Amino acid sequence: MTMELDVFVGNTTIMDEEVYQLWLDGYTVNDAVRVRMDGGVMEECEASADVLLSDTMDQYRTFQMCERLLHSPSKLGNQLLFQIPPHRQAMLIERYYTFDDGFVREVLGKKLSKGTKKDLDDIGAKTGVTLKSCRRQFDNFKRVFKVVEELKGPLVENIHHHFLLSDKLARDYAAIVFFANNRFETGKRKLQYLTFQDFAFCAGQLISNWTVGAVDNMVEDMDVDLDKEFLQDLKELKVLINDKDLLDQHKSLVCTALRGKTNNLNEMETNFKNLSRGLVNIAAKLTNAKDVRDLFIDLVEKFIEPCRSDRWTSADVRLYLTHYNNSVHLLDTFKHQVVWNRYMDVVKSSINILHVRLDESEGLSCFMEKKKSQRWGSCSSCRSPHSLAPGQTGGGLRDLFWAPTQPGRQQPVGRTHRSGRRRSIRKKDSLIAARGGLPHL
Amino acid sequence: MPGKLKAKIVAGRHLPVMDRASDLTDAFVEVKFGNTTFKTDVCHKSLNPQWNSEWFKFEVDDEDLQDEPLQVTVLDHDTYSANDAIGKVYIDIDPLLCSEAASVISGWFPIYDTIHGIRGEINVLVKVELFNDLNRFRQSSCGVKFFCTASIPRCYRAVLVHGFVEELVVNEDPEYQWIDRIRTPRASNEARQRLISLMSGELQRKIGLKVLEMGGNAVVGYLQCFDLEGESGLVVRAIGTACTLDKLSSGSAPNTNTHMPVFGEDMTSTSGPPTPFRALPTTSSSLPPFSPSKPCSRQSSSSDTDLSLTPKTGKNTWVPFSHLQEFPFFTLTSFPPGFLVHVGGVVSARSVKLLDRIHNPDEPETRDAWWEEIRQEIKSHGKALGCHAVVGYSESTSICEEVCILSASGTAAILNPRYMREGCLDIGITDHRFEEPSPPSCGFCHIPYDELNMPFPAQLTYCYLCRRQKVPDVLFTTINLPAEAAVTGKGCLIQARLCRLKKKAQGEVNATAISNLLPFMEYELHTQLMNKLKLRSMNALFGLHIQISVGENMLLGLASATGVYLAALPPPGGIQIAGKTPGDLSAEHHILTIQKRINDTIAKNKELYQINPPELTEEVLGSPVPDSRQRSRLFRSHSESSDEVSELDLSHGKKDAFVLEIDDTDAVEDIHSLLTDAPTPTGFYSCNTEIMPGIYNWTSGVQMFTSVRVFRLSNANLTNQGLNKIFTDLCENLLKSFYFKLRSMIPCCLCQLNFTVAVPEEELIQVGGFRTSLVCNETEEQLQFPLELCADPSSANCQPASKASGKNSASVDYGSFADRCSTWLELLRLKAHTIRRGSVKTISSLERSSPLPEGRSRSLRSNRSFGGISVTVVKMTPLSFLPGTRIIKYLGIINMFFIRETTSLREEGGVSGFLHTFIAEVFSMVRAHVAALGGNAVVSYSMKECMLMENPNKNQAQCLINVSGDAVICVRETDQEPTPSTASI
């Protein structure tokens, strides 16, 4: 029997975590009822479909009423409308701000603007996330972005304090905000194998080393904007490749250090100038906004791909980078040790993670299985490159790195085209432009 | 004369945006008391203004202090146009007028607007300086304590119970004044809210005066109701029991030197008049006075004759009352041991009145006379049962257009006269249980009427416990089960539901139709109750509440009670099915199957409720009691059926069997409906009394909830049967959804399940489409464990941990308080049934493992109280106590009335969304007021009224809610000393 009115209110607000999740996932009431029925709640406690429907409606209503408060979680703690035990409040907030990794991966580095919001249905369809849930997540990103961009102090702290999120989630949001602000390009095919967590790790590195906040911790946007002076200073590093003596000296130092520690010494030696030139050039170009955006692509193209083609293992890469970095300190004539360190700390860890991930994704696609538990460790089974069977999903990746002509060739054309469009949008969006956070195109 | 009221506006927070341009608000506050108004400065451009105003001082009469609420209005300053109201807070300052209650009101109050709901919060400080007034002719009654609790409040001792007090105030309803045509809905709602607040203040003051006159100092079981009569006015009426209470020094054990009443010898003198058929413990269906008096004209003559019959016999026993007052009524439902000597049975009276016949509607005389009439009737019923008092007394009305049904009911009883004279009622004594001549475990079941003069000894047996006195075979009462009663097995909720169609009519015709229907409804409800009781193999009903509500074209009856197997009463017989045509084979077969089903159900229920009374030998069963006519007295009292019944010999051996006859399809339906009551799922118990009979170990996890459902009847030509089915389904579904929602709290018990039905007004446009609304309020949910807590070593371990953490976190800080409650509860649940999972678990383990509870809980607290602002947890319960806690202070009565209206119903999520928000808002306002008084719980909470009017076509809805309860401070039972810090926050 359908009720004209059906309300159930408890003094302590009664919430079912399962229904909350369904609500967050954007299920309609009827779909949620179906899911719950399939979940076997009915058998568990002899309920009928009516009862389930009425319960679901009640809960949905409660959540809708709470949603307003969840937008500013600190209000939830001292509002009087709902009596919710603190651990429940924490759960509500945490879940509300939790996002789908697949979804965030799609919007990572994009501008959190209306334009992107219009594309949400496509993203939803692609990632299998309901539009409603996409909107919630997107709005969450935007809300966090808006609140923290005006604040002083460390980014993660600010998010943690204003949104009462767990440390982990606050860090993830810091990464999202950071990427959105600097508009790092993450959507390119070459970067597809990277998960959100990989980027979040890199973001953490960038925030703690390259931002204004890394040197001064009481300015606005300290963790959101890259340190302009530092970027300027990076130009000085060019001496490492331009000065022939220095380059040779560096090379010999690295090779000496590597001797006997790796099987790939030859390749390392032959590639040294090439790789070093790549890394230093990336550094020198970072004053340019466009090149900042392409940081990750550049790292892949200039360093990881050459390494891949020489079949370096992740251990090789790590070893090489360590010595490549350390040897610079032995160069007496090189005066920019501090800048170098600041630069290399990030590059080293980022390349490591990008390479490890590539290794893994190769290996995993090879075995057609996913093991998330091994995320942060290098995949032992994939230490050496595999010969991939043609036609497998991994083929795409292989094509990407071994094919002489890169499939992503047309991309730059599209990129220039799109950046042109973006510029026009950005003029309207005075908010971000006025912050000076984005280098001008 | 005077008192000085001081108020200070501290700050606001979460204010709504009133200025679209700046997204901010320029707020200021008006503080009004009586005719004096003060204003704060305007706090420009802030949603969290800090006014920190000076102390606004009002010098007023204490009479005004009692009547008027303090009005705090928050406004948005506008330079060019009129200031916009953000919302209001009404603060009842009554609790400050009593020295023993709260001393200051201080806290965050939700700012409430009747159109927009809660819009931010405001921090207010209120104090009162009261000067002593010894004027004999004063009109105020400051200092009289009011309690909604229908028993002697936990930290008091009753010195003397004075008896019944009642008062009634009438005023014109602002909704119906001419000015309402031109003022805004907001103004009209506020006028109404204010008026009702004023009226209930006045009512309380007047009752207080009566109490002072009687020499008492408190009113317990205070029951206040509103009758929105429409055109003829707005009535606020209240009843209560005047007492002289003594505060027990907090924490000390209750006094033990009380005189226990002497039973037995007194009995003969107190026995009632020889009125044979009244001797039924259940008078409801058989009493002629049930035929409600015709509107304004004919009184039920029978009650008058009764009165003339009895006064002499009854007189001497109620000396203590009679010189004090007219009606020996008590609104109490639980009593100190020994107070209640015998219980006769339920007495009730109903009367149908026409509101448009009131001569001068603005005066209370007519209504006073109406209630007087009803009370007289109740009194005479009580006397007919040989009782000198009526306990568990309550009054209610149901209004539809101009017709009004007044109802009153109670339980006829004999109270200990000695007790009354000496006035030493005390609580908490249980140790003399078996020393009495008539053991308290069965004494109250013994018949109060004179057995020798009873023409039908058939219904009486010797008490199964003491074997000395006679007991009836079934006992119906409106009171709670006495704590000392011996009960076998567990109790359960029993409900009888009934719908009766009536023709649409106007005025007198309508009233006559209704009054003609009433006795039949009562009879049927009673039969249903009796059948269901037998089906559950029980023999007594407690907390019986019969509600009959009237709609335009139907009457609804809902009777709820808690069934119990009283060890003192004889075991109930089975239910026998009889067919009218014995020759018909197929019919006989049909009857046999039904009979089998019934027998199975009885057996199953016995198991479910653990009713396994000790087998009694034939000898004990007692041959003095002839079982020739052991049929239900229901049938006997109704001449048309009694003959048929007596012809059949269907008794089960020696036990009396209850015969149900299948003579037409209706009867088949009835029997089917008997069997369709879904059993409560395992792990759940439900009852409508305070405590669940048969369950004694409670945990402190309490969850109060309110549920409202409205069902629109779609079919125009519905039959009585069809309606009954729908109504029953509605109730059953409601219960089912409770069980479902609370499944995570198993094992749990729903206590004080309070069902209310109403048939809201019907617009003429909806031809044939009727709306039935089932409003179910105040349901109390608790956890209990069948396991002995101490027997489980692991739970014994965790108890000290929570105890310790409870002790140190004396301030009722949100974080720690919630922690320790949830922890305790959670741990027990984990131990008892490992069914819980989720985040809570980690907290409990954290708490448990902490060797230093102090530091730990502090750190937890700081983690949780987001941003340093903590919100006090306020528990609400319709019970008079909180399990696992001890009430250390009563802070005063909470009596609030709210109106909410919307003109954007769809946008607020339809009626459901609207009401959901409103109820949540009401809860939050109650909590805020309690917290501001320094309390942490509301006991005896009830939602008296929840009236919803909607017009979906116009996108409008209006709802009125009235709630009441007692604000208290309670501490965990394990805590030794109440901490002073809780008193003043």
pLDDT, tens digit, for every residue of B363-399? 888 888 899 989 988 888 888 887 888 899 999 888 8
Q: Which residues contact B455 (CB under 8 A, 6 or more apart)?
A: B276
- Residue range B828-845, pLDDT digits in tens: 333 333 222 222 222 222
| From B873, B913, B925, residue closest to A61, measured CB to CB | B913
pLDDT for B889 = 87
DSSP bridge pairs for B562: B493, B542
Chain A residue with minimal CA distance to B938? Answer: A11
The answer to whether residue A163 neighbours chain B at the CB level (below 8 Å) is no
**Distance in Å, alpha carbon of B290 to nearest chain A alpha carbon:** 34
pLDDT greater than 90 at residue B82: no
State yes or no: ipTM above 0.90: no
pLDDT for B145: 87
Give the one of A54, A78, A81 whose C-beta lies nearest to B867's C-beta: A78
| Residue in the block written with tokens 């059993």 | B679
**What pLDDT does B584 receive?**
64
B704: amino acid identity, one letter: M
Q: In what order do the strands lie in the sheet with B487-501?
A: B475-476, B540-550, B554-566, B487-501
Question: Quick one: pLDDT at residue B420?
Answer: 58
Q: How many CB pairs under 8 A join A and B?
A: 168
Q: How many residues does chain B have?
A: 985
* Phi-psi label, residue A391: left if phi above 0, alpha if psi -120 to 50, beta otherwise: left
Look at residue B422 and tell me whether its pLDDT is greater than 60. Answer: no
Q: What is the DSSP pairing of strand B403-415 with strand B340-354?
A: antiparallel
At B326 the pLDDT is 65
Q: Is the pLDDT of residue A298 over 70?
A: yes
Q: What is the pLDDT of residues B277-325, one digit of tens each?
A: 333 333 333 333 333 333 333 333 333 333 333 333 333 333 343 344 5
List, for residues A360-399, the tens digit of each pLDDT value.
776 544 443 444 434 443 333 444 334 333 333 333 333 3
Q: Which two tokens stand for residue B440?
A: 């308290």
What angle, rounded to 10 degrees, do the helices at B793-808 and B814-832 form? 180
Integer Cα distance of B234 and B200 in angstroms? 11
Report the run of H or E that residue B38 belongs to, with start and end. Answer: strand B36-39
Mutation target vs A (from B709, B907, B918; most A CBs, 10 A cutoff): B709
Closest approach of B157 to chain A, Cα-based (Å): 31
Q: What percent of chain B has pLDDT over 70?
A: 66
Kindly state the tokens that stand for B87: 């919302």
B94 in Cβ contact with B66 (< 8 Å): yes
Measured between beta carbons, the chain A residues lying within 8 angstroms of B705 are 8-11, 14
Q: Are B937 and B970 in contact (CB under 8 A)?
A: yes
Is A89 an 8 Å CB contact of chain B? yes
Chain B contact for A49 (CB, 8 A cutoff): no
Confidence of residue B508 (pLDDT cuts 50, 70, 90): confident
- Give the β-pairing of B885-902 and B875-876: unpaired
Q: How confident is the model at residue B54 (pLDDT cuts 50, 70, 90)?
A: very high
Q: Give, in degrees to the nearest 5, the angle at Cα B498 between B495 and B502.
A: 160
The whole-angstrom separation of Cα B629 and Cα B646 is: 7
Q: Residue A61 has what pLDDT?
A: 92
Q: Rounded to 10 degrees, what is the CA torsion of A344, A346, A351, A357?
A: 160
- Tokens found for residue A122: 């496509």
pLDDT at B937 over 80: yes
How far from the centroid of its chain's Cα atoms is residue B495's Cα?
Answer: 16
Q: Is A171 within 8 Å of A179 (Cβ atoms)?
A: no
Interface test with B, best of A44, A78, A95 (most B CBs within 10 A): A78
Q: Is A67 part of the contact surface with chain B (CB cutoff 8 Å)? A: no
Q: How far apart are CA B969 and CA B936, in angstroms?
A: 5
Structure confidence at residue B604 as a pLDDT band (50, 70, 90)? confident
Task: Please give the Cα distance from B493 to B475 (Å, whole number).
Answer: 15
Q: Which of B709, B740, B924 faces A3 most closely, judged by CB atoms?
A: B709
Q: Which of B121, B912, B925 sits opposite A6 (nearest CB)?
A: B912
B875-876/B937-951 β-pairing: parallel
At residue B112, does pLDDT exceed 90? yes
Residue B743 near residue B736 (C-beta atoms within 8 A): no
For residues A328 and A254, what is the distance between their CA atoms, to the nearest angstrom? Answer: 9
pLDDT for position B239: 92
Q: Which of B146, B160, B151 lies closest to B215, judged by CA?
A: B160
Q: Determine the Cα–Cα distance for residues B30 and B9; give it in Å rounded to an integer.
A: 9
- Number of helices (H) and strands (E), helices first, in chain A? 25, 1
Instruction: Round to whole Å and give the CA distance between B401 and B830.
Output: 54
Residue A240 burial (10 A CB sphere; 0-12, 13-18, 19+):
buried
* Pairwise CA distance, residues B659 & B648, whole Å: 9
The sign one gets for the Cα dihedral B477, B480, B484, B490 is positive
pLDDT in tens, A133-166: 999 999 999 999 988 887 777 888 888 888 999 9
Query: Considering only A284-298, B133-147, B769-783, B894-908, which range has the smallest mean pLDDT?
Result: B769-783
The answer to whether the Cβ–Cβ distance between B730 and A1 falls below 8 Å is yes
Judge whether residue B123 has pLDDT over 90: yes
Task: Nearest chain A residue to B912 by CA: give it.
Answer: A5
Is 90 exceeded by the pLDDT of residue A236?
no
Strand partners, B662: B579
Mean of pLDDT values over B204-213: 89
CA A266 – CA A264 distance, rounded (Å): 5
Looking at every residue in chain B, the average pLDDT score rounds to: 70
The most confident of the ranges A364-373, B45-54, B354-363, B563-572 is: B45-54
Q: Which band of pLDDT confidence, cut at 50, 70 and 90, is reported for residue B663?
A: low
State yes or no: pLDDT of B70 exceeds 50. Answer: yes
Q: Tell me the percentage of chain B whose pLDDT exceeds 90.
A: 13
CA distance A46 to B298: 52
pLDDT recorded at residue B760: 67
Top pLDDT among B773 and B846 is at B773
**Cis preceding linkage at B747, omega within 30:** yes
pLDDT at B582: 56
Q: What is the DSSP letter of A119?
A: T
CB of B740 closer than 8 Å to CB of A47: yes
CB A11 to CB B921 under 8 A? Answer: no
Mean pLDDT along residues B104-111 = 92
CA distances from A86 to B341, B692, B870 (A): 49, 31, 10
What tokens were used for B263?
Answer: 């039973």
* Nearest by Cα to B909 from A136, A6, A95: A6
**CB within 8 Å of B116: residues ≥ 6 apart:** B16, B87
Q: What one-character-per-residue DSSP string does B609-657 give?
A: TT--PPP--HHHH-TTS--TT-S-HHHHHSHHHHHHHHH----BTTB--
Q: What pLDDT sits at residue B921?
A: 93
CA atoms within 13 A on the CB side of B468: 12
pLDDT at B632 over 80: no
pLDDT digits (tens, 9 = 90+) for B433-480: 333 455 667 777 787 776 655 544 446 778 877 777 778 888 888 988
Q: Which residues contact A277 (CB under 8 A, 6 or more apart)?
A: A241
CA A221 to chain centre: 19
> Does the global pTM surpass 0.80?
no
**Mean pLDDT confidence for A402-416:** 37
What is the sign, positive or negative, of the torsion defined by CA atoms of B40, B46, B47, B50? negative
- What local confidence, expressed as pLDDT, does residue B32 receive? 93
Rounded distance between C-alpha atoms, residue B932 and residue B942, angstroms: 20
Q: A252 at the B interface (CB within 8 A)?
A: no
CA A136 to centroid of chain Cα atoms: 18
Stretch (H or E) spanning B519: helix B507-535
